[in-house]
C-alpha cells in the first residue's frame, strides 16, 4: 500500500485529534464463486476506520469496492483467517448500528408505503411511537422533504427518492454508514445538494462513513481519507489523506490549491492502478 502524505497541511495544524477505531479490517480476504470455482476477489485488505471518520473508497469498475462494503456490513463472509470488527466486535451478520445506503434507491423503497412509512421502516418495533414520529420528522426535515411525507415514492423525482433513503438511514441514528455510490445516478445540482446535506449530517451525528464512489471530486470534497482499491485479488493500493478544512463549500473548497492538488493525486493513483 502506498500511503501518500498531504503536501503541507498537517492534522495538528487543523486541530484534529487521534480518534478511536470504529472498524478494523485485518488480512481480510474474500472468495466468491465463479464458473471455474471460488475466485479470490479481495486479498489481505488492511485498514482501520476511525470513529467519526469519512473514508471514500475508489477504484476501477470490478475492483471490489461493493464487495468490501458488503464485508464491512456483514453481508458477505470473508475467509476464516480474516479479522473484521465493528466497535471491537467481530462482524457476523449486519451490525445493529450500521446502515447500508445503496445506489439503487428505487429498489430500496417500498412503493406501497408513503414516504413517512418508508422512513419508519428501520424503526418499527425498536423505539416508542413518539420517538419514532419525532425521528421521522427530524430526518425528513434534514433532507428537506417534510412536506412530502404523505406522498408515495413513485410520486417523487429520483433525487427525492434518494433523499428518502438517506432520511430512513438517518432516522436509525447509525454509528456507521456504508454508502455504495449513493449519488451516482443523480444530476450535478442534486448531487451537490445531497453532498452538502451528507456533510452536515456527518458533522452533527459523528457517524463513521465508508463511501464508495467513482467521482474523484466527490471523494475529495467529502472525505477525510481516500482508499484506492486495485489488483487481482484487490488490495488497498493507495491511501491518501484529505486534510482540507471543514466545513467544506462547493465553490470555495473546490477552488483551493490543495483541493486541486488532491484531485490530481487521486486521479494519478487511479490511472496508475490501470497499468
Ligand atoms: N455474488 C458474486 N459472485 C461471484 N462473483 C462476484 C459476486 N459479486 C461480485 N463478484 C465479482 O467480484 C468482483 C468485484 O465486484 P464488485 O461488485 O465488488 O466491484 P466494484 O468495484 O463494486 O465494481 P463497480 O464499480 O462496477 O460497482 C467482480 O469481478 C465481480 O464479478
Ligand atoms: Mg460496485
Distance of CA 14 from the midpoint of ligand 1 (Å)? 37
Asked if the structure places residue 147 within a domain, the reply is yes
Co-location of 178 and 260 in the same domain = yes
Co-location of 136 and 81 in the same domain = no
CATH of the domain at 30: 3.40.50.300
Co-location of 222 and 166 in the same domain = no
Co-location of 178 and 245 in the same domain = yes
The reply to whether ligand 1 has any atom less than 6 angstroms from the CB of 36 is no
Co-location of 183 and 241 in the same domain = yes
Co-location of 73 and 199 in the same domain = yes
Asked if the structure places residue 159 within a domain, the reply is yes
Asked if the structure places residue 160 within a domain, the reply is yes
Co-location of 82 and 181 in the same domain = yes
Co-location of 15 and 56 in the same domain = yes
First to last CA, the chain: 16
Instruction: For a ligand 1 pocket test, name from 29, 30, 32, 36 the mutation site with the most ligand atoms within 8 angstroms of its C-beta.
Output: 32
Asked if the structure places residue 102 within a domain, the reply is no
The reply to whether ligand 1 has any atom less than 6 angstroms from the CB of 67 is yes
Which of these three, 122, 145, 172, is where a domain ends?
172
Asked if the structure places residue 104 within a domain, the reply is no
Q: What is the pLDDT along the chain (275 residues), one digit of tens a residue?
A: 777 755 444 444 444 556 799 999 999 999 998 888 899 999 999 999 999 999 999 999 999 999 999 999 999 999 999 999 998 889 988 888 899 888 877 788 999 999 999 999 989 988 999 999 999 999 999 888 999 999 999 999 988 998 999 899 989 989 999 999 999 878 898 899 889 989 988 998 899 999 999 999 999 999 999 999 999 999 999 999 999 999 999 999 999 999 999 999 999 999 887 66
pLDDT given at position 8: 44
Which of these three, 172, 202, 221, is where a domain ends?
172
Query: How is 144-197 classified by DSSP, letter by letter?
Result: T-GGGTTS-GGGS-HHHHHHHHHHHHHHT--SEEEEESTTTTS-HHHHHHHHHH
Is the bond preceding residue 247 a cis peptide, omega within 30 degrees?
yes
The reply to whether ligand 1 has any atom less than 6 angstroms from the CB of 260 is no
The reply to whether ligand 1 has any atom less than 6 angstroms from the CB of 70 is no
**Closest alpha carbon to 29 in 1, 60, 64, 73:** 64
Total domains, the chain: 2
Co-location of 6 and 91 in the same domain = yes
**Closest protein CA for atom 2 of ligand 1:** 32
**Closest protein CA for atom 1 of ligand 1:** 32
The reply to whether ligand 1 has any atom less than 6 angstroms from the CB of 35 is no
Co-location of 83 and 163 in the same domain = no
The reply to whether ligand 1 has any atom less than 6 angstroms from the CB of 38 is no
Q: Domain limits at 144?
A: 112-172
Co-location of 202 and 252 in the same domain = yes
Distance of CA 232 from the midpoint of ligand 1 (Å)? 12
Does the global pTM surpass 0.85? yes
Co-location of 19 and 92 in the same domain = yes
| Residues β-bridged to residue 38 | 33
**Closest protein CA for atom 16 of ligand 1:** 64
Asked if the structure places residue 16 within a domain, the reply is yes
Asked if the structure places residue 106 within a domain, the reply is no
3-state helix, strand, coil in the chain (%, to 5): 35, 25, 40
Which of these three, 128, 157, 172, is where a domain ends?
172
Tally: H helices and E strands in the chain = 9, 11
Asked if the structure places residue 40 within a domain, the reply is yes
Amino acid at each position: 500500500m502506498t500511503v501518500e502524505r498531504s503536501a503541507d497541511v498537517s492534522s495538528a495544524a487543523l486541530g484534529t485529534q487521534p480518534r478511536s477505531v470504529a472498524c478494523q479490517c485485518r488480512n481480510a480476504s474474500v472468495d466468491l464463486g465463479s464458473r471455474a470455482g471460488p475466485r479470490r476477489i479481495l486479498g489481505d485488505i488492511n485498514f482501520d476506520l476511525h470513529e467519526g471518520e469519512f473514508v471514500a473508497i475508489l477504484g476501477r469498475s470490478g475492483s471490489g469496492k461493493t464487495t468490501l462494503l458488503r464485508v464491512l456490513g456483514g453481508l458477505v463472509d470473508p475467509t476464516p483467517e480474516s479479522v473484521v470488527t465493528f466497535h471491537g466486535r467481530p462482524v457476523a451478520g449486519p451490525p445493529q448500528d450500521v446502515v447500508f445506503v445503496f445506489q439503487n434507491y428505487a429498489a430500496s423503497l417500498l412503493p406501497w408505503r408513503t414516504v413517512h412509512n418508508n422512513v419508519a421502516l428501520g424503526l418499527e418495533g425498536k423505539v416508542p411511537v413518539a420517538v419514532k414520529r419525532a425521528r421521522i420528522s427530524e430526518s425528513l426535515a434534514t433532507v428537506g422533504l417534510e412536506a412530502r411525507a404523505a406522498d408515495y415514492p413513485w410520486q417523487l423525482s429520483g433525487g427525492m427518492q434518494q433523499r428518502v433513503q438517506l432520511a430512513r438511514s438517518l432516522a436509525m441514528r447509525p454509528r456507521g454508514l456504508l454508502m455504495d455510490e449513493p449519488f451516482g445516478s443523480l444530476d450535478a445540482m442534486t448531487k451537490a445538494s445531497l453532498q452538502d446535506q451528507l456533510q452536515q449530517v456527518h458533522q452533527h451525528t459523528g457517524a463513521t462513513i465508508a463511501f464508495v464512489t467513482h467521482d474523484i471530486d466527490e471523494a475529495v470534497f467529502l472525505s477525510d481519507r481516500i482508499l484506492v482499491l486495485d489488483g487481482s485479488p484487490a488490495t488497498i493500493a493507495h491511501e491518501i489523506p484529505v486534510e482540507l478544512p471543514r466545513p467544506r463549500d462547493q465553490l470555495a473548497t473546490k477552488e483551493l490549491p490543495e483541493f486541486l492538488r488532491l484531485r490530481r493525486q487521486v486521479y494519478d493513483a487511479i490511472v496508475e492502478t490501470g497499468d
